[in-house]
Amino acid sequence: MAAKLTIDVLSLFPDMVEAPLGGSILGKARDRGLLEIRCHNIRDWTTDKHRKTDDYLCGGGQGMLLKPEPIFAAVEELRRRETRVVLMTPQGRTFNQSLAAELAASGGHLIILCGHYEGVDERFTQKYVDLEVSLGDFVLTGGEMPAMAIVDAISRLIPGVVGKSTAVQDDSFYSGMLDNPHYTRPASWQGSDVPEVLLSGDAKAIEKWRRRQSVERTLKRRPDIVGRAGIMPWLSGGAYVMEVHYPVLDKRGEKSSTAITGMDIHDIARACRTYGIKKYLLVTPLAQQREMAKRIIGHWTEGWGSTYNPDRKEAFSTIKIFASVPKALAWVKEKEKREPYKIATTAKSQQEATHWLTLKREIMLGDRSPVFIFGTGWGLHDEVLLASDAVMTPITGGTDNWNHLSVRSAVSITLDRFFGWR
């Protein structure tokens, strides 16, 4: 059986890499043909009698530098059409779980070059290296130990290497969060007991406990990674988007209503379905507007459009229409069996507004069911803002204060911040 992934490691000390990769799970995976790991000595591609791989720095300076010729010869001999060349260097992209997944899925062949001394001749790096990778902001004597760590992290993502795929999925960082604490027998040890919920046999309660522990541990130890994690899997309830057409402001700043547009419905519905939003709440007090929206929705969920574009049917199935904001919120409360966490959005600066990342952490910590409320026209009226639990700071960008996004753009950006994965 052909290996699903081949990794060639180029090093001045290949035995240093080979030894730890020969045992345990990786050794068994190699024996089963799930992956192939080959370690090579760069000196095997030298042409002089001294097998010289390094030389002095041009322009002077301390240390030696790996010469380009033997490395190039090695890469050329080992290269395939799908090959990616990875250089281990403190100056590279910081390695993390998402990069491990990217490399594991990048194709059938990786060449990992272990840097040494002052590194590698820049001409080789510029021409032949696809990715420079670092383990972190520190310097080691060579690239062998980082290469071992990366090979291990990549390999365990190959199907079949780890016994159960769920074991990988439950790891720290796999889903953007730290893993929950784990316990084994005995139930009591040195005065400390295993949490009762883990001994209860209640699968739902155990799952909820583990989810909460993962959230609390991440927020305490690594709050920095929350910004790039999608939070939906960590909530016990649903999340909602509300598009408000009344009460909103007109151009003069007076209370007004706005018309529903097909473009907004289409784009917001697709964004909601993409990010796992439970319901897209469309609010207008105008009966004619509600009837028009029902006809549009019916076309894509029940009419000809449902068979012409099943994906659009799925997106439009998330929409529910209400005559007022309070009625929509009451419906959410009934569905969730608790008060929703009402987050109003605005393009205007508000004194008490809260940054989206702070709100993201609060939602996770409190395990809340958020309702993101978006206004049309010139924004939400004060009665909606004042009745909300929080007002989110405006979406900003660019180099000046110009800020006039469409509601569908604002929805997409907001949902990506809270429920997207990076």
| pLDDT (tens digit per residue) in 295-335 | 999 999 999 999 999 999 999 999 999 999 999 999 999 99
> Of the ranges 32-36, 42-46, 273-277, 290-294, which one carries the lowest mean pLDDT score?
32-36
* C-alpha dist (Å) from residue 140 to 17, 145, 146: 15, 8, 9
**H-type alpha helices, 279-345:** 287-301, 304-308, 310-316, 325-336
- What digits encode the pLDDT tens for the residues 172-209? 444 578 888 999 999 999 999 999 999 999 999 999 99
Asked if omega into 233 is within 30° of 0 (cis), the reply is no
Over range 21-31, report the average pLDDT.
Answer: 78
Residue 131: pLDDT over 80 = yes
CA gap 139, 143 in Å, rounded: 9
Please say whether the beta carbons of 43 and 70 come within 8 A. yes
Over range 139-163, report the average pLDDT.
Answer: 89
What confidence score (pLDDT) does residue 163 get?
Answer: 56
Residue 62: pLDDT over 90 = no
pTM for this model (two decimals): 0.78
> pLDDT category, 258, cuts 50, 70, 90?
very high
What confidence score (pLDDT) does residue 3 get?
Answer: 54
Which domains are delineated in the chain? 6-165 (3.40.1280.10), 233-419 (3.40.1280.10)
For residue 41, list its beta bridge partners. 11
Name the nearest CA neighbour of 4 among 111, 104, 152, 149: 104
> Of the ranges 1-5, 34-38, 65-69, 97-101, which one carries the lowest mean pLDDT score?
1-5
Which amino acid makes up residue 224? D
Over range 374-379, report the average pLDDT.
Answer: 96
What confidence score (pLDDT) does residue 2 get?
Answer: 47
Between 399 and 320, the higher pLDDT residue: 320
CA gap 232, 369 in Å, rounded: 10
Residues known to be catalytic: 90, 118, 156, 171
CA gap 31, 43 in Å, rounded: 27
Indicate the pairing of strand 36-41 with strand 6-11: parallel
What angle do the packed helices 14-21 and 144-155 form, to 10 degrees?
30
- What digits encode the pLDDT tens for the residues 346-375? 998 888 899 999 999 999 999 999 999 999
* C-alpha dist (Å) from residue 334 to 274, 338, 418: 24, 7, 24
Residue 168: pLDDT over 60 = no
